[in-house]
Amino acid sequence: MTPLNKAKLQWVIERALTSRQKREKEAGLLHNVKECQQRHLRQIHAVKGRLTELPRVLANTLVGQPAAEIERIITEQVTAILEDFAADGS
């Protein structure tokens, strides 16, 4: 393939890709990567915050409880946090 033909082919490919990207953008199929990353970081920080406050929140409740009951309470609380996170969807 001659350099001229290669250049023409590259131009056609780039034009097709640009057209496809424009159609996808107009159809709302593309998203803002930076915004998506920021949303994920907010979600991670929210879950981390709720998990790290569990010891303070549950300390008085867990004192004197048998090990099986402590495990049940902690599992219940962690599951609730994870379900909230999963249901958020944002």
pTM reported for the whole predicted model: 0.61
More confident residue, 12 or 30: 12
Say how far apart CA 62 and CA 73 lie, in whole Å: 8
Residue ranges in 1-90 assigned as alpha helix (H):
3-26, 33-62, 67-88
User: Do 23 and 42 fall into the same domain?
Assistant: no
What pLDDT, on the 0 to 100 scale, is given for residue 42? 94
User: Do 70 and 83 fall into the same domain?
Assistant: yes
What pLDDT, on the 0 to 100 scale, is given for residue 89? 58
pLDDT tens-place string over residues 26-70: 898 888 899 999 999 999 999 999 999 999 999 999 999 999 999
User: Do 3 and 14 fall into the same domain?
Assistant: yes
Say how far apart CA 83 and CA 87 lie, in whole Å: 6
Full residue range of the structural domain in which residue 23 is found: 1-30
User: Do 79 and 49 fall into the same domain?
Assistant: yes
Mean pLDDT for 10-34 is 92
Could you tell me which residues come within 8 angstroms of residue 9 by beta carbon, excluding any fewer than 6 positions away? Answer: 1
User: Do 40 and 79 fall into the same domain?
Assistant: yes
User: Do 4 and 17 fall into the same domain?
Assistant: yes
Give percent of the chain with pLDDT exceeding 70. Answer: 98
